[in-house]
Amino acid sequence: MKTALITGCSSGYGLETARHFHEHGWNVIATMRTPANGALPPSDRMRTLALDVTRPESIAAAVEAAGPIDVLVNNAGIGLLGAFEATPMATVRELFETNTFGVMAMTQAVLPQLRERRTGVIVNVTSSATLAAFPLVAAYTASKTAIEGFTASLALEAAELGVRVKLVEPGYGPGTRFAANGAARMNGLITPPYAAYAQRVFAGFAGGGPVTTGADVAAEIFRAATDGSERLHYAAGPDAVALAERRAAR
């Protein structure tokens, strides 16, 4: 029976992905900063571990407690919406610590065991913001785009070791806690010069159209982890798929 370690499982895509792997018969190690009871099904195939991907000692403890794993899903991330001009550089660095350096640190911590066994998969979750330009998410997009480049390069060297590395790019998911989890961080980032523009942007988001669900993302992460191919990119959700197809047609 295979084991997946999934980061950022307290809500949203990570929580849905943990459930999905479990439903398909996997052992799941669901990690989050503050483990909570009740969100995940009680099972001897479901373990919850504390993990803060910005702290090396937390990463080391979680990886040691997890034991051998077959798939690492780097899903943990934080969001940011606002005018870049108004965004403190400390906030930008906080974003990169989780969305970029956290992914790299987790990958570096798990790669040795995958290399030694010459098998395994690493799935890095980014965003459809890497597929097309969106307003008011410049810093967030930068943190995710960095992982796109990182993953594409890493996939080449990891393939020599028998390890596959994948990218899953979710679309806009209004059902996630993106805004709620980042509310304090985003406070004051829509300043008066940008207010009218932001209102038009927000109206566009609320205007309908296809969106991405947690089930969409979980299914695509599972597909990336299990299809056995050398494919790198997996758009998740109908809006993300449309963007990926539009980019490919250029």
Which residues are catalytic, by number? 140
- Return the SS3 of 24: coil
User: Taking a C-beta distance cutoff of 8 angstroms, is the pair 9, 15 a contact?
Assistant: yes
Q: Which of 60, 51, 30, 34 is nearest to 42 (CA)?
A: 30
**Amino acid of residue 158:** A
User: Taking a C-beta distance cutoff of 8 angstroms, is the pair 234, 224 a contact?
Assistant: yes
CB-based contacts of 7, cutoff 8 Å, min separation 6? 14, 31, 32, 51, 53, 73, 74, 75, 76, 102, 106
Q: How many CB atoms lie within 10 A of CB 45?
A: 14
